[in-house]
Amino acid sequence: MKQFFRIQWAMLLLLAISQLTACKKDKEDDVIASFTYKVDEADFRKVAFKSYANAIKEAPEIMWDFGDNTTLSGETEPVHTYQAEGVYTVTLTATASNGAKDVFTVQLVIADPDVELAKLVGATEKTWKLLRDVSTGRYPLEVGPANFSSIWWAMGRQNDELANRPCMLNDEWIFRRGGVMEFDSKGDYWAEGGVFFPSN
């Protein structure tokens, strides 16, 4: 029984020593710079940043460099609008009260996610009309095979359709970002004879 208690005390002593030597406090960094960002859904040039910079004793002083040679910012959650597409190096510098610094850098790509849409709507909206000048061999309305190898019929090609249907040529299609299209007939329309009764 004495042997059992000696072993038990020895185990407790060994456990206590291991706990004391294993519990060393890890060295903490004086300051850590970190941030996230989100590109605006309506304007891809507008970016909202959020600092997660932290220091041991108190919030550090922060400074943003957005990488486009604009004025630096000390805000915690700045919103910055870039003037042009491109790749920008965004840097957040955090400085603790003891002078310790940490720098966090991200390469930010500013690019229009809707490049093809921009061809249709421009920056915000674009107005389209049927082609009026047929001297280039292109016509407002063409009928032909899907591979465009020939034209079977075209409005204004060897016919007077441009003169007969001028009301079609003043129609406007206005395309806007957000998937909106507005049709403006300018108050007139064309109908083939026999569509309405009487046909005049």
pLDDT digits (tens, 9 = 90+) for 51-78: 999 887 788 999 999 999 998 899 999 9
Percent of the chain with pLDDT over 70: 82
Distances (CA, A) of 88 to 39, 82, 85, 92, 159: 13, 9, 9, 13, 56
Contact 77, 50 (CB under 8 A): yes
Q: pLDDT grade, residue 30 (50/70/90)?
A: confident
Q: pLDDT grade, residue 13 (50/70/90)?
A: low
Contact 87, 126 (CB under 8 A): no
Tokens representing 107 are 């390469």
Q: Is the pLDDT of residue 90 over 70?
A: yes
169, containing H or E segment? helix 166-169
Q: Is the pLDDT of residue 26 over 50?
A: no
Q: Is the pLDDT of residue 23 over 60?
A: no
**Domain with residues 31-110, CATH architecture:** Sandwich (2.60)
Question: Partners of 109 in the beta sheet?
Answer: 87
Q: Is the pLDDT of residue 105 over 90?
A: yes
